[in-house]
Structure 1
Amino acid sequence: MKKLLNYFFQGLLVVIPISVTIVVIYKIIFWIDGLLPFQLPVKLPGIGEVNIPGLGILTIVVGITIFGYFAKFFVANPFFLLLERLLERTPLLKIIYTSVKDLIEAFVGEKKRFNQPVLVTVNKESQVQRIGFITKNDLTEIGISNQKLAVYLPFSYGFNGQLVIVPSENVEKINASGTEMMKFVISGGVTEVD
């Protein structure tokens, strides 16, 4: 009976992560497909029109890639510069546009921000430490001592976190990639670090 129970739990370890991954991907594909104002039906002989899940996401990915290709050559175009300047000067739009732009650039742009994983001593008395990412080394532009750093502390099992300003002596660099450390933190420390 004990062997059967062990096999059952071993099966759970295999089936649950795969099932959850499939369900999440399935939901994301249908959610993104639903964002399109049109469906992309495919005509199949003898069956008629069929909506194939994923064609919407494929269309979006191809469209963004094509837009990125042209943007690379025309980013210095006066139209794009004027549009960006307008977005950065309009009060409410400025907050939304610059926040989203900075967030995207933090992950995929040339100014990647989550590539410096660190161990932060949050409370020296209890020696509580957290894994975070240095997002800004120089805070003098906002009137904070240059002895302090801005560190983003992600939360486990979510895409949120908190920003803390800490003295530089409370920060110790971790010799690992930012991607591996982000995965480690988001998984609650249960994933393997390569």
Structure 2
Amino acid sequence: MAIFNQPAPPKRDNPVPPPQPETALKREPDTLNEFSFGQPAAPAPVAAAPAPTPAPAPRQAEQPVVKESLIASDLTIEGKIHGSGHIRIAGRFKGDVQVDGDLTVELGAKLNGGVRARKVVIAGELEGNIEAAQRVELLESGVMIGDVKAGVVTVAAGARVRGQVEFGWEDSGKAVARNDGGKSDKSSDKGDKNAKTETSADS
């Protein structure tokens, strides 16, 4: 007689067969059909050749992604920036900025130095000269102390500017041609005379 109840082994309703080891050599498929009694099996139907796919159209040259660098609002940096991307200043920077992309001076930011960029947007304060920009935008909170030479200048109501501003002129000193239906503008002639006078006065 047993003093302890011994647990019975668990019952299995569906016993799992032990795994069969795979053979190293696989059996080749029979070429004879099992119902053909020695006759070769019918050849498998030949699949139709796939239709040729049209060649993909050549991709147009993709524009490289221009990256933007940020000077954060809690940073003060002194130096020089030169590059091909966009620059966004939210802190303080003292030095020259020369980029092929855009420059943005955020609200509360300050830049002391010269600027050469494709487009300049000022919401903060810029103390220095802007040269050779295609477009300059002073937003209503923007402060500009210095000279500006640009193709287009936009000044919002409330913005402040102290300095000389030149826009709409090519590097040669001639007014940019405008499509005005063939009408001549006498004020541009006066501007050309003033430019000549300034040139002769400088010599």
Instruction: Name the one with the larger strand percent.
Output: 2
> Which structure has the highest helix share of the two?
1
Q: Which has the larger radius of gyration?
A: 2
Q: Under TM normalisation by the shorter chain, which class is it?
A: under 0.3
TM-score of the aligned structures, taking structure 1 as reference length: 0.24
Q: State the TM-score, normalized to the length of structure 2.
A: 0.23
